[in-house]
Amino acid sequence: MANRSKTVLTHRVFPETVSMLEDWTDVITNDADTSLPRDEIIKRCRDADAMMVFMPDSIDNDFLAQCPKLKIVACALKGYDNFDVEACTGRGVWVTIVDDLLTVPTAELAIGLLIGIARHVMTGDRDIRAGRFTAWRPTLYGMGLAGRTVGIVGMGRVGQAIAQRLQGFDATILYADYQALDPVTSASLHLKRAGFEELICRADYIVLATPLTSETLHMIDRSAIDMMKPGAILVNPGRGSVVDEMAVSDALADDQLAGYAADVFEFEDWARADRPQEIPQTLLAQPEKTLFTPHIGSAVTDIRKAIEAEAATSILEALRGDRPTGAVNDTP
C-alpha cells in the first residue's frame, strides 16, 4: 500500500474540517487555542505534504528548506503577505487563499466598531459595571452618522461591503482608490470618489479597507492625521500596519483624533522585519478613546467553517495533482 500523505493544521479547526481531510491524508492537528512555536511547526512539517495556515503563521525560504515534501500552503485567510509566494513558487509549492468569504463579516464588524467608538459604548458599559450609573446624566455625548461624512480608503470587496451596509444611515460616503468603480456600482452605493488627501480632510469617519503593501504601509502617519478634521474618528478593520500606531496614540492624546477602533494591529504583520512586538502601551492606556477587538473580523461560526472547508478543498486538489482552488501562484 502506498504511503499516505501528511497534512499539518497549524491551528485548531472545526471537526468537520478534519473529517474532510482524514479520509485522504493523515492529519496532524493543533487542538489548543494558542499558536505553536515556529520550531514546533517546522518539526511537524518536515515530512508533510500539505499544511493549512492562519494569520499568525509565516512561511519563508528557510522554513521551506526544512520541509522539502510540501506541495501546498493553504491559507485560511485572504491577506497573504506573511507568506513568501516567490519562495514557494521556486520550490514548486502552491499557495492558496480564501478570497471572498471574509468580506461580509469584516464589513459588519467595521460598522460595529465605528458606532461603538463614536457612541462610547464600551465606556458606558464599564460605567454601569462599576456602579457609576444611577440615572440619566448629561455625559458620554458622541457623534452620530446622520449628516456626517464617512470616508472609506480602499474600494475593493470589503470597501464596497462597508459602503453597502452604510446605506440608510443618511451619511455622505466618499471613497479613495487608485481605480474608480464602474458608474453603476458607484451610483447604486451613492458614492463619491475623492483623492486620499481630500478624503481625510473632509471625512468625520475614516475607515481603512486597503491591503497592506509597500505603498500603504503607514499611510496613516502623523502627517496624514494632521490633515484630518480635529475630532475625526479612525476605524481599521483591515491591516494593522496601514496605521502608525504611535502616531495614532499621540493624536488621541492631543485630541486631534477623537477615537480609534481597530480589529488589527501592527505586531501581527510578521513579514515586516521591523514590526513592533506589541501594541503600544500608550495606545492601550486610552480606553475612553479606543475600542479594540482581537482580530475577529471573520469570527462568525458558519463563515469560519466555510473558510476552513475551502482551504481543505484546496489541499485535497493539490494532493491529487490538480491546480488548487484559490491558487495565487503557478508551480513549475
The residue among 329, 322, 299 whose CA lies nearest residue 102 is: 299
Alpha-carbon distance of 327 to 35, in angstroms, equals 25
Active-site positions?
239, 268, 295
